Structure 1
Amino acid sequence: MSGNSRLDDSPFARWWRNVDRTTLICAFILIGFGYILMLAASPAVAVRIGASRNMFILKQVEFLTIAGLIVFTVSTLQRRTVLILSAVGGALMLGATMLTLVHGVEIKGARRWIALPLMSLQPSEFLKPCFAVVTGWLLTRPRRIGILPGAAIAGGLYLLIALLLKSQPDIGMLSVITAVFLAQLFVNGLPLVLVGAGVGLMMGGGVAAFFVFPHVRSRVERFLHPDVGDHYQIDTAMRAFGNGGLLGRGPGEGRVKDLLPDAHADFVFAVAGEEYGLVVCLLIIMVFTTIVVRTLLRLMRESDPFVIVATAGLVTGFGLQAFVNMASSLHLIPTKGMTLPFISYGGSSAMSVALAIGMVLALTRHQTGGTGTDDGFVTTLRHWRSA
């Protein structure tokens, strides 16, 4: 029998039959784009900083290989295991985020990273998917946990994370996590009036950030007023898109990309525009859109509230991150240092996005028994209460 026959009861065959293969394939298409665009974008950046031309390429090959393994491995987990992984990983990353305020590496005035032997770790990147899953479970609990309802604990967890991100500061990540939390509250049944109030508070926070944080004010003013501040990076990115046109200059033929300081990271989408043109840029957008829409359509057939709310949070964070990066590159919104999932350079980014997509695949995979989230984890909490 063929490997994917319904008579084949091996673990891999069961996983392959039940996983969302469209989303899985799209994730690996993005990883493929990550390899290709890093070959185009990174050599000039490496030479500019005095490193080997292949430094970023070799590192990103390792990061994306690990990311692919993470997507596959996490997608095979049961829902209960995803919840436990998120709770334990979230607690560790929350502690690591606190640690950045004391021992973090400072880059451009922000302390978001912890220096490790082979890479710099940004704990908040991993905190984002773990927060979405844990919050999804807390919001959908029918009973109290201890003396508090799950929603109150979820709100307290959000406020703690928001305080830490504000202190780093990382306003972009704070905005994404806020949007994730609001989306989950909406999906969980929060009245539209209160959702609107939350959006209003988020907008008010953005206005406050404009007056409190100089770097936020600088980016907004440069976006609104072309004659204010340094526009070199965004002007160069727009030149790259224009130079690429419809079909692009061809692999390795881009010249404007070599002038982009962050061509391998925040502005890798401009490199795609110059070398491969509008057609490939639209293809990349279509792949991201397919993952988001496909996941939401699967949730419409889902009956487990935990899966619906948790996955909605995960896909909101994924889609919003992609939108912010591409819209910034196209000068549709103020610039924000946010990576393009699976495509921009960065170990923390690639592996955290892989964790999120792996969780989406695991939670939306058709489960065949022994997969409830009320056993094991909740039973342990009840034992703690009765002890």
Structure 2
Amino acid sequence: MIKKFKYLDQFIFIPYFILSIFGTLMVYSASSYVAIGQDKNPEFYFIKQAVFVCIGFLISLFIFALKYTALKQKKLIMNAILVIVGLLIYLLIFGKEINGAKGWLDIGPVGIQPAEFAKISVIWYFAYIFSRRQQQIVRDFWSSMKQPAFLFAVILLLIAIQPDIGGAAIILFIGIIMIFASGVSTKLGITMGALGIAIILGVVELVRVFGTKLPFLQPYQYDRFVAFWDPFEVSESAGLQLVNSYYALSRGGLFGVGIGESVQKTGYLPEPYTDFIISILGEELGLVGVIVVLSLFSFLVLRIYLIGIRTKDPFGSLMCIGIATMFLIQASINLGGVLGLMPITGVTFPFISYGGSSTIVLTISIGLVLNVSAMNRKQEIEDNN
């Protein structure tokens, strides 16, 4: 492991480290008032997040230290997928409903979200399957996709009916991008992309016309669409979060009101340390603070995409593309909800928002990318020698 550190990609590790530390501090700032209101220590969520970040850091180092070939073991990958499917089924049957969804599994004092771990499991599985079937995908796309598409559909369905629409949407986009990157023809890729956009627009129009008459739409989910269409019309109910998000961002202005000085986190903006932590960041550090964070995060995502493009091994390439897509889509959905560009889905912002399962999955992903990057660097040095 010590020898492998000379291959550590600083352009991945440093942005990840800075975002994780800064995110932990923002969790403290955004959660302290809420913790006091819950009769807890002001540092309650800060300490938990710090523990999650430390555990994730150790896991990422362990994954980085593994031999690259160990990541491609079929038995390990399939067992991970089966465990995730089993946990998702268990949740639907025995899971405790929280805020209208069965998404949490309690293991002693710790709660985990299997849907979060499903994201990295799908990426890992698709990278393995597609890298082994590249020639088959080019020759006969539909035949080569039967098995992975079925398993993918099962996972999507199990997450969607929790219901966790945000998580399902992220996994759906990950799957689509990884299929595009697997070797499909440009014509087929464009056709599938257009079909996906048409389906999304069609669902939105169905919701607008039929509302809660639709069998798959819960009342609270319809309220999110109503808040998206006209948040100020329902500012005292469904639009409360979005309206107060606007107030927070507006109050922050260019340079913010100062770290710890947010007003919206004191009971006005629900979920200030999870879904809407970017609003608190904007209020306290202003537009400049938001741009700095988004720039650092964008650099990290682009760097991972670059590693994926440069990696000659198909498995590593697809792994990096899938992980970069997960980061990008998750951040986009969160920002879309915060800014009112799309309905609120309860998706957190990577590395900044509070969340144990999310933090662990994100750091596992960083460990995988660092492993792929180290393999590339080692190969380049050997080739040059």
Normalised-by-shorter TM-score class:
0.7 to 0.9
Select 1:184's aligned residue among 178, 182, 187: 178
Q: Which stretch shows the higher mean deviation, 207-216 or 273-282?
A: 207-216
- What is the TM-score of this pair, normalised by structure 2? 0.86
State the match for 2:159 in structure 1.
165
2:331 is the alignment partner of 1:331: no
Alignment of 1:205-216 (within 5 A): 211=214, 212-214=216-218, 215-216=220-221
State the match for 2:194 in structure 1.
196
State the match for 1:322 in structure 2.
331
State the match for 1:308 in structure 2.
317
State the match for 1:70 in structure 2.
59
2:259 is the alignment partner of 1:268: no
State the match for 1:380 in structure 2.
none
State the match for 2:246 in structure 1.
238
State the match for 2:297 in structure 1.
288
Distance 1:91 1:207 in 2: 36
| CA deviation vs aligned residue, 1:309-339 (integer Å, no higher than 9, x gap) | 2221121111111121122112222212011
Q: Which stretch shows the higher mean deviation, 353-362 or 80-89?
A: 80-89
CA shift for structure 1 position 205: 5.4
2:77 is the alignment partner of 1:90: no
Unaligned runs of 5+ in 1: 1-10, 370-387
Select 1:99's aligned residue among 70, 90, 101: 90
Alignment of 1:18-97 (within 5 A): 18-84=7-73, 85-97=76-88
| CA deviation vs aligned residue, 1:232-255 (integer Å, no higher than 9, x gap) | 222112111122111111122222
Give the 3 Å change call, closer, same or farther, for CA 194–253 of structure 1 in structure 2. Answer: closer
CA shift for structure 1 position 301: 1.8
Give the 3 Å change call, closer, same or farther, for CA 336–261 of structure 1 in structure 2. Answer: same
Give the 3 Å change call, closer, same or farther, for CA 326–194 of structure 1 in structure 2. Answer: closer
| CA deviation vs aligned residue, 1:252-304 (integer Å, no higher than 9, x gap) | 22222222221111111111111111111111111211111111122222222
Distance 2:357 2:56 in 1: 10
State the match for 1:5 in structure 2.
none
CA shift for structure 1 position 86: 4.1
CA shift for structure 1 position 341: 1.3
Give the 3 Å change call, closer, same or farther, for CA 208–356 of structure 1 in structure 2. Answer: farther
Q: Which stretch shows the higher mean deviation, 94-103 or 210-219?
A: 210-219
Distance 1:282 1:197 in 2: 33
| CA deviation vs aligned residue, 1:36-86 (integer Å, no higher than 9, x gap) | 101211111112223232221221111111122222222222333223454
Distance 2:300 2:78 in 1: 25
Paired letter, 1:39: Y
State the match for 1:384 in structure 2.
none
Distance 1:313 1:136 in 2: 8
Distance 2:78 2:286 in 1: 42
Distance 2:104 2:110 in 1: 10
Paired letter, 2:161: S
CA shift for structure 1 position 178: 0.6
Paired letter, 2:310: R
Unaligned runs of 5+ in 2: 137-141, 380-385
Distance 2:150 2:205 in 1: 23
CA shift for structure 1 position 18: 2.2
Select 1:152's aligned residue among 133, 146, 151: 146
Does the 8 A contact of 1:186 with 1:195 survive in 2? no
Q: Which has the higher helix share?
A: 2
Give the 3 Å change call, closer, same or farther, for CA 79–197 of structure 1 in structure 2. Answer: farther
Distance 2:128 2:204 in 1: 28
Give the 3 Å change call, closer, same or farther, for CA 206–173 of structure 1 in structure 2. Answer: farther
2:131 is the alignment partner of 1:136: no
Distance 2:201 2:276 in 1: 26
State the match for 2:255 in structure 1.
247
Aligned length: 355
State the match for 1:17 in structure 2.
6
State the match for 1:224 in structure 2.
229
Does the 8 A contact of 1:71 with 1:355 survive in 2? yes
Does the 8 A contact of 2:307 with 2:317 survive in 1? no
State the match for 1:373 in structure 2.
none
